[in-house]
């Protein structure tokens, strides 16, 4: 008779996310994860050979969830409408910035086939996400809302970096997001 698993994938990934965002990739260990989940390290090792295998599985889960929700957004309307929807979405999923950082920390070459396969799939998710956001920027340029000479990479970097700006003064979230939208879309200088 097979032994029953002591945790679900969702519980495992939730704890993995908390540890990765709180402590970072380098400090992440199965010992800390097992302690947090109140299970033995061995129960995690039954399913994952090492931390990279688990972290990649978690990252694929997160990116898949993020892209699935992003694909369900209403993509109709002009650029300004879609821009507002996308900024709200990004701030709803503000941890995506940290998750994307973790992707770059995982060693690229591994003899483990599962890790190699998952890295390739994760790269595909990342490219899909980038293409979709780049499509929005292109729409803004076509509608002559965004200056055509500005680099898509810089615009996307600015949008994603706004998530990482710390709110040290405790500005209410709605006001914070509205101010960032205004700065991104209209700048910070007064116009005559």
User: How far lies 132's CA from each of 21, 70, 124, 135, 149, in Å?
Assistant: 25, 9, 12, 5, 20
What is the per-residue pLDDT across 159-180, written as a single tens digit (0 to 9) for each?
988 988 999 999 999 999 999 9
What is the per-residue pLDDT across 93-139, written as a single tens digit (0 to 9) for each?
988 878 878 888 888 776 777 777 888 888 888 888 889 899 999 99
- Determine the Cα–Cα distance for residues 6 and 151; give it in Å rounded to an integer: 49
User: How far lies 148's CA from each of 74, 144, 184, in Å?
Assistant: 25, 8, 15
- Determine the Cα–Cα distance for residues 137 and 131; give it in Å rounded to an integer: 10
User: How far lies 106's CA from each of 98, 102, 139, 176, in Å?
Assistant: 13, 7, 34, 32
Q: What angle is formed at CA 72 by the lines to CA 12 and CA 135, rounded to 5 degrees?
A: 110
- Determine the Cα–Cα distance for residues 32 and 18; give it in Å rounded to an integer: 11
pLDDT over 90 percentage in the chain: 64
What is the per-residue pLDDT across 65-91, written as a single tens digit (0 to 9) for each?
999 999 999 888 999 999 999 999 999
pLDDT at residue 100, rounded to an integer: 78
Helix, strand or coil for residue 150?
A: coil
What is the per-residue pLDDT across 24-72, written as a single tens digit (0 to 9) for each?
999 999 999 999 999 999 999 999 999 999 999 999 999 999 999 999 9
């Amino acid at each position: 008779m097979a032994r029953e698993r002591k945790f679900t994938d969702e519980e495992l990934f939730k704890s993995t996310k908390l540890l990765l965002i709180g402590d970072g990739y380098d400090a992440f260990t199965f010992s800390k994860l097992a302690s947090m989940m109140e299970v033995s390290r061995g129960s995690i090792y039954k399913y994952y050979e090492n931390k990279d295998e688990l972290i990649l599985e978690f990252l694929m889960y997160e990116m898949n969830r993020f892209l699935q929700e992003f694909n369900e957004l209403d993509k109709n309307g002009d650029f300004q409408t879609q821009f507002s929807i996308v900024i709200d979405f990004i701030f709803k999923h503000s941890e995506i910035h940290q998750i994307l950082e973790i992707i770059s920390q995982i060693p690229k070459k591994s003899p483990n086939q599962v890790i190699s396969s998952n890295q390739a799939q994760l790269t595909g998710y990342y490219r899909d996400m980038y293409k979709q956001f780049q499509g929005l920027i292109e729409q803004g340029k076509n509608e002559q809302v965004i200056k055509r000479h500005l680099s898509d990479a810089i615009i996307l970097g600015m949008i994603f970096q706004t998530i990482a700006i710390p709110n040290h003064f405790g500005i209410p979230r709605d006001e914070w997001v509205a101010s960032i939208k205004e700065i991104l879309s209209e700048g910070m200088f007064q116009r005559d």
